[in-house]
A and B are shown apart, each in its own frame.
Chain A
Amino acid sequence: MNSPLATLNKILTCSFVDGPGNRLVLFFQGCNLACSACHNPYTIGICDHCGDCVPACDPGALTLQSNKVIFNPALCDQCDACLTICPISASPMTTQFSVDDILALIRIHKPFLGGITVSGGEATMQADFVKDLFTAIKSAPDLSDLTCFIDSNGMLDIAGWQNLLPVTDGVMLDIKAFAMDLQKELTGHDTSAAQNIARVLLKAGKLYEIRYLLIPGKTDNTAELDQLVAFIQSLGLDTKVRLNAFQHHGVRGLALDQDIMPKEGVDAVVELLADAGIHNVTTPAIYQ
């Protein structure tokens, strides 16, 4: 197959939180939003080989060869100095994979898997690869019982989704915020298109879960929650909703001054949703 290669930040071969069952998860490098509260901000940018991180790497895992930063995993001691220094929230520690590489990896872990999930970053920015990969899984007799899920911010346009959905089993969709100024503050963009995408996915029977990150004083105010309730009600009371709680783990910069979301706050939102008839709600298993 003459497919594009995927640029991946990380692969997890065992995850319980990225869709139904145990899943292999591909974290794509690169995102089209820039959320201040991102829990893995180093997946946002795409490396432009500026070379700034090379001298920061003490063990010499990074070298500049013909204007390209080359990463040698054998020397890396995971100090993350390169991630901290990178001016564009990229990572030099990405790896390129072909569809066949990923299929081989899936086969090793197959007995334990319910399916695979593409996440990120924003996986749909590499939609051609995702489509090729999902198509290959669906057409391989030994893999076709695996489900293929996408974890997305919903910024891909409708035509892009129509292209992916025939080989996709489910989508976990982020809804960031409702008020326009809050959307811009949190993500740097207008993300209201995601609400429309939710309806497209619902119609196609592929909306697995709506995800909503609770950030104290931002996304948990009455106006936002009222809109969340109305939005979920418009999708249907059985819609699966996952509430995430903002924590400091992984975040950077100003977001560290932001209060974390306590369990009591999450529980109050669960109650509010329940009063509105929204009952299919999951909450974090662990708080910091």
Chain B
Amino acid sequence: MPEITEKLRKITNDPTLSPAQKAHYLAVEAENMLPYPELDADVQEALDDRIICDMFEGHAPYKPRYVLPDYSIVLKNGSDYLELPVPQNLDEAINTLMIAYHHVPSVTGMPVYLGDLDNLLLPFCDGVSDDALRQKIRLFWRYLDRTLPDAFMHANIGPSDNRVARAILEIDAELGQVAPNLTFLYDPDTSTEDILRLATDNILKCSKPHIANHPVHKATFDDRGYGIVSCYNALPVAGGSSTLTRINLKAVAELSDSESHFLNEVLPRYMDMNFRLTETRISYLFDQSGFFDSFLVSEKWIDRDRFTAMYGIYAMAEAVNILQDKAALEGRYGFDDKANDLGLRISKMLSEAVEARPLKNAWQGRAMLHSQAGLSDDIEATPGIRIPYGTEPDPVSHVQALAPQHQYYPSGVSEILTIDETVKNNPEALYQLCKGALASGFREFTANVSSNDLVRVTGYMIRLSDVQKFNDQKGSRTNTTGLGAEAADLMGILDRKPRVVGHELSPGYT
């Protein structure tokens, strides 16, 4: 195994990585020295060709990709396993959460979900002054960014307008940190216009939070609720997602002769293979890894029945354009009504096929369709259902072209609107865009204002100045900067016009 030894040595000696980052990459390499769970020959071939993809989650799924604990349980009951008493005040509640996070795994090894923080903390805020609250949040935020430096890590607030949500927005803008990422759940019936304005004003300062369409998500999930994590993923709370697999629609379109060949033969074949891949991975997690013997289950932070499987697709734009070419049609995805309609037919077919397929060990017995953001080594494949980089129309046309798609993607759509800097003189415009996008059916409103130092590279944030430093070989404290730097180099995001590329993560060492 000289090759792997060499790679391990390279990781060990890499001057740009911290010891913790080295340990993470070494663990990934070790897992991948195990044989992959057994796949049939067709699936193996499609996976090797990356027509279907397992997001390089690893050869031995011993933890779900995303875990969204119901943190209200530990705040209410304390934890026997962790020897935590029931918290009695705000300090103890925050301390309990800070400890809890370290026991929640995910694909990156760090927690992706920090909870619906305002609802969790509000009951502890009686008698706490606004100043004291802000100071406690400030320290909490500093702690999160410095000890769990992964921008996939996501806090939720809203839909109500309350003092904790306001303090979080204020401190988040004040600190301008990469972590944690933040989503405000907006419900026109519950949220005030005032807090939505605070949220959209924050986007101008630090490109956070993103705004989730609460009524739409609420209708998708059950009474225990949902959380938004990582890259625009909406998932069941007290559960999460076991895995995320995805289909490269561009590659499938290349193998098809026509739209009907694509929809009726080639895509169904690869969808079936992607299902088989998903089943294999879930079965390892549930039947072999022992993950669900954890105290997380016995103490009811999570429930083994509440893990879905995210069924991702990407490169819709390229797929539609290829099929348009094959039909000798000129219209391009995102710009032409006929091309957009073809995109809708594809999404509808995908959605019906996912709905029709029973899946063992999945929440409600089904996978959930997802418009997937990408990996940092995707080349010439546009994330999810997005319009290709650098060619997007103005933000309103952009929303209007894609809004009808959103109904088909219950576990989320990775979408970023690039807004030019002139909006900084006119915050009301961003507020109106946000309301318009949500009213049009967008599941999430996520905007990047071009001159911000903090920008999104898919669901996570990077600091442009960190990328610069990373490329100067100094290394970065935050894990996502490496991914951003890779994406920035490959896709040229930094010399593009206000630009964000979609790459969810680059899971291994390169």
Residues on A lying within 8 angstroms of B by beta carbon are 12-14, 16-17, 20-23, 108-109, 111-114, 282, 285-286
Q: How far is the CB of A147 from chain B (nearest CB, A)?
A: 11
Most buried by A among B395, B420, B429, B437: B429
Size of the chain B interface, CB-CB below 8 angstroms: 25
B426 touches A17 (CB 8 A): yes
A112 touches B396 (CB 8 A): yes
* CB-CB under 8 A for A21 and B422, given A14-B395, A111-B440: no
B422 touches A17 (CB 8 A): yes
A22 to B424, CA, bound (A): 12
B435 touches A114 (CB 8 A): no
B436 touches A111 (CB 8 A): yes
* CB-CB under 8 A for A21 and B432, given A13-B397, A14-B396, A111-B439: yes
- Closest-by-CB residue of B relative to A19 is B426
Q: How far is the CB of A117 from chain B (nearest CB, A)?
A: 12
Residues of A within 8 A of B425 (CB): 16-17, 282, 285
Interface flags for B440-482 (1: CB within 8 Å of A; 0: not) read 1000000000010000000000000000000000000000000
A108 to B440, CA, bound (A): 11
- Residue of A17, A22, A282 near B396 (CB, 8 A) is A22
A285 to B397, CA, bound (A): 22
Residues on B lying within 8 angstroms of A by beta carbon are 394-397, 399-400, 419-426, 428-429, 431-433, 435-437, 439-440, 451
Q: How far is the CB of B293 from chain A (nearest CB, A)?
A: 50
A112 to B430, CA, bound (A): 9
A14 to B400, CA, bound (A): 12
Most buried by B among A109, A285, A286: A285
- Closest-by-CB residue of A relative to B426 is A16
A13 to B433, CA, bound (A): 12
Q: How far is the CB of B160 from chain A (nearest CB, A)?
A: 24
Q: How far is the CB of A171 from chain B (nearest CB, A)?
A: 17
Q: How far is the CB of A114 from chain B (nearest CB, A)?
A: 5
- Residue of A13, A23, A285 near B421 (CB, 8 A) is A285
* CB-CB under 8 A for A13 and B420, given A21-B428, A22-B432, A114-B429: no
A286 touches B396 (CB 8 A): no
B428 touches A111 (CB 8 A): no
B396 touches A13 (CB 8 A): yes
Q: How far is the CB of B205 from chain A (nearest CB, A)?
A: 14
- Closest-by-CB residue of B relative to A109 is B396
Q: Could you list 29 examples of A-B contacts with CB < 8 Å? A: A13-B394, A14-B395, A14-B433, A16-B423, A16-B425, A16-B426, A16-B429, A17-B426, A20-B426, A20-B429, A21-B432, A22-B426, A22-B429, A22-B433, A111-B435, A111-B439, A112-B396, A112-B399, A112-B433, A112-B436, A112-B437, A113-B432, A114-B428, A114-B429, A285-B421, A285-B422, A285-B451, A286-B420, A286-B421
Q: What is the interface of chain B mostly: helix, strand, loop, or mixed?
A: helix
A114 to B397, CA, bound (A): 16
- Closest-by-CB residue of B relative to A112 is B436
A108 to B435, CA, bound (A): 15
Q: Which 5 A-B pairs have the closest CB atoms?
A: A112-B436, A111-B436, A21-B428, A22-B429, A14-B396
Residues of B within 8 A of A14 (CB): 394-397, 433
Most buried by B among A13, A22, A282: A22
Given contacts A16-B423, A111-B436, 20 further A-B contacts (CB under 8 A): A13-B397, A14-B395, A16-B425, A17-B425, A20-B426, A22-B396, A22-B426, A22-B428, A22-B432, A111-B439, A111-B440, A112-B437, A113-B432, A114-B429, A114-B432, A282-B425, A285-B421, A285-B422, A286-B420, A286-B422
A135 to B395, CA, bound (A): 28
Residues of B within 8 A of A113 (CB): 432, 436
A212 to B314, CA, bound (A): 48
Residues of A within 8 A of B435 (CB): 111-112
B436 touches A16 (CB 8 A): no
Residues of A within 8 A of B440 (CB): 111
Residues of B within 8 A of A23 (CB): 429
Q: How far is the CB of A78 from chain B (nearest CB, A)?
A: 15
Residues of B within 8 A of A16 (CB): 419-420, 422-423, 425-426, 429
A22 to B200, CA, bound (A): 14
Q: How far is the CB of A250 from chain B (nearest CB, A)?
A: 16
Residues of B within 8 A of A21 (CB): 426, 428-429, 431-432
Residues of A within 8 A of B451 (CB): 285
A21 to B396, CA, bound (A): 13
A109 to B436, CA, bound (A): 9
A286 to B439, CA, bound (A): 30
A255 to B77, CA, bound (A): 74
Residues of A within 8 A of B399 (CB): 112
Q: How far is the CB of A100 from chain B (nearest CB, A)?
A: 21
Residues of A within 8 A of B439 (CB): 111
A282 to B425, CA, bound (A): 7
Most buried by B among A14, A16, A285: A16
A12 to B395, CA, bound (A): 12
A192 to B267, CA, bound (A): 69
* CB-CB under 8 A for A285 and B424, given A22-B433, A112-B399, A112-B433: yes
A109 to B424, CA, bound (A): 22
A282 to B436, CA, bound (A): 26
Most buried by A among B395, B419, B431, B433: B433
Residues of A within 8 A of B419 (CB): 16
A259 to B398, CA, bound (A): 36
A94 to B86, CA, bound (A): 71
Q: How far is the CB of B457 from chain A (nearest CB, A)?
A: 22
- Closest-by-CB residue of A relative to B396 is A14
A112 touches B394 (CB 8 A): no
A20 touches B428 (CB 8 A): yes
- Closest-by-CB residue of A relative to B398 is A14
A286 to B421, CA, bound (A): 7
- Closest-by-CB residue of A relative to B428 is A21
